[in-house]
């Protein structure tokens, strides 16, 4: 049986960057993980069906459609064997409020061993969002980003009690990416 690790964090915190760094380190040690982006699984279906043109449009879709995409992605990912990292979100900010990224019917299929929250100060996340031209990030103040991170911690606690997984916090602070990468790699060993 492989290990299944879920990695979450608010948009712009640098999840994908930290994951890539950690996987490179582990590869040198002969430890292999398949890295899966939950949103990409959803986007494949949503774009094929002509529902969205870019991945940042998905959180604006009707809640029922997002749930259906989520369910399909969860099923497909649950079927993947071996060591797996799932890059996703505890909650998604939608116009109707926070949508749980891993509701009960998704998380019980995924059966994670560990849930990692990548976090840093909200001001740093705000700056990173402003500097990233590749994504269409929502305009949001620092305080609101802080509240989103707080809410994600509560959801992480709920997921831990539902599944028995452990919860780990990895700080990805400015100028300290290497520390975050080492910390993440250590969690995956």
Residue 128 interacting with ligand AMP (CB under 6 A)? no
CB of 30 to ligand AMP, least distance (A): 28
**3-state class (DSSP) for residue 87:** strand
SS (H, E, C) 5-63: EEEECCCCCCHHHHHHHHHHHHHHCCCCCEEEEHHHHHHHHHHHCCCCCCHHHHHHCCH
Q: What are phi and psi of 18, to 5 degrees?
A: -65, -40
- Site for ligand AMP contains 38 (CB under 6 A): yes
Instruction: Determine if 16 is a binding residue for Mg ion (CB under 5 A).
Output: yes
Distance of CA 174 to the CA centre of its chain: 19
Q: Does 117 bind ligand AMP (CB under 6 A)?
A: no
CA dist., res. 19 & res. 22, Å (int): 5
If one asks whether residue 107 binds ligand AMP (CB under 6 A), the answer comes out as no
Under the criterion CB under 6 A, does residue 4 sit at the interface with ligand AMP? no
The mark string for 50-89 relative to ligand AMP (x by CB under 6 A, - otherwise) is -----x--xx------x---x----------------xxx
| Window contacting Mg ion (CB under 5 A); options: 10-18, 21-29, 46-54, 159-167 | 10-18
Determine how many CB atoms are found less than 10 A away from the CB of residue 90.
25
Q: Which stretches of the chain bind ligand AMP, using CB under 6 A?
A: 11, 38-39, 42, 55, 58-59, 66, 70, 87-89, 92, 101-102
């Amino acid at each position: 049986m492989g290990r299944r690790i879920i990695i979450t964090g608010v948009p712009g915190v640098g999840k994908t960057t930290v994951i890539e760094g950690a996987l490179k380190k582990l590869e040198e040690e002969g430890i292999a993980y398949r890295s899966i982006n939950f949103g990409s699984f959803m986007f494949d279906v949503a774009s094929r069906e002509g529902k969205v043109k870019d991945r940042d449009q998905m959180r604006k879709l009707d809640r029922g459609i997002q749930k259906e995409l989520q369910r399909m992605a969860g099923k497909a990912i649950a079927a993947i064997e071996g060591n797996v990292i799932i890059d996703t979100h505890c909650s998604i900010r939608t116009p109707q409020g926070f949508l749980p990224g891993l509701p009960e019917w998704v998380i019980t299929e995924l059966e994670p061993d560990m849930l990692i929250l990548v976090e840093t100060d909200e001001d740093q996340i705000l700056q990173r969002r402003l500097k990233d031209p590749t994504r269409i990030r929502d305009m949001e103040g620092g305080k609101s980003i802080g509240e989103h991170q707080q809410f994600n911690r509560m959801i992480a606690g709920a997921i831990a009690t539902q599944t028995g997984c452990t919860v780990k916090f990895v700080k990805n602070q400015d100028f300290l990416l290497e520390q975050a990468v080492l910390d993440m790699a250590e969690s995956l060993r």
